[in-house]
Chain A
Amino acid sequence: QSALTQPPSASGSPGQSVTISCTGTSSDVGGYNYVSWYQQYPGKAPKLMIYEVSKRPSGVPDRFSGSKSGNTASLTVSGLQPEDDADYYCSSYAGSNNLIFGGGTKVTVL
């Protein structure tokens, strides 16, 4: 199983929106509604931000939203805040009780 494909970087000014893509195949992203997104600050553990494509855990701001079309999932951060400057990783169920992650996207708040 190959890693999901994410752009290495994305950026936006405070208040703007940024969207990150996560491309897989019909065997993972396209085949299941089990896409998750994680936020990671340098030197820290990842934190779950989105699960089941578009659901937010308690405490995650509604500025974060997720969607999926075919084999590509997306994370949108609306109204960018300085604290959104971080790495973001997608993951997907890949069948046979396996998980697969993306390579990560560095989001820079300009």
Chain B
Amino acid sequence: QVQLQESGPGLVKTSQTLSLTCTVSGGSISNGDYYWSWIRQSPGKGLEWIGYIYYSGGTDYNPSLKSRLTMSLDTSKNQFSLNLRSVTAADTAMYYCGGQDTALVAVVIWGQGTPVTVST
């Protein structure tokens, strides 16, 4: 059973880069059944799809974040990562990594989430 665990700093300064990593356990990141995804949830708000990276390295990003976003993966460590540049307070959120089933177009696996606060 595939499990996901997010890691990264809980506090990022305004205008800096937010970097998070998701470790995949119980399965291989090279499993073509999933798009390895990031989703965030601002305090008291709804979910926002950030984007995903496929095992091939292909990516798709939310158009509203695309200019600041880079995703990558490290198959040797079974990890995938998110870098969000030039952050502001609006980027403060709980960040979830997820596995989006390529056939079902649904996020079937979720990490527990990691909170990130952007502050001066």
What is A's interface to B at a CB cutoff of 8 Å?
1, 3, 32, 34, 36, 38, 44-48, 51-52, 57, 89, 91, 93, 96-104
Q: Which residues of B contact A32 (CB under 8 A)?
A: 105
Residues 81-120 of chain B, each 1 if its beta carbon lies under 8 Å from chain A, else 0: 0000000000000001000110011111011110000000
For the complex, count residues of B whose C-beta is within 8 A of A.
22
Report Cα–Cα, A98/B106, bound state, in Å.
11
What is B's interface to A at a CB cutoff of 8 Å?
39, 45-49, 60, 62-64, 96, 100-101, 104-108, 110-113
Q: Is the interface of B mostly helix, strand, loop or mixed?
A: strand
Smallest Cβ-Cβ distance to B4: which chain A residue: A45
Counting from the closest, the 10 A-B pairs by CB-CB distance are A34-B105, A45-B110, A97-B60, A36-B106, A51-B106, A103-B46, A101-B47, A99-B49, A104-B46, A51-B104
- Select one of A36, A38, A46, A101 contacting B105, CB under 8 A: A36
> Are the C-beta atoms of B105 and A93 separated by less than 8 Å?
yes
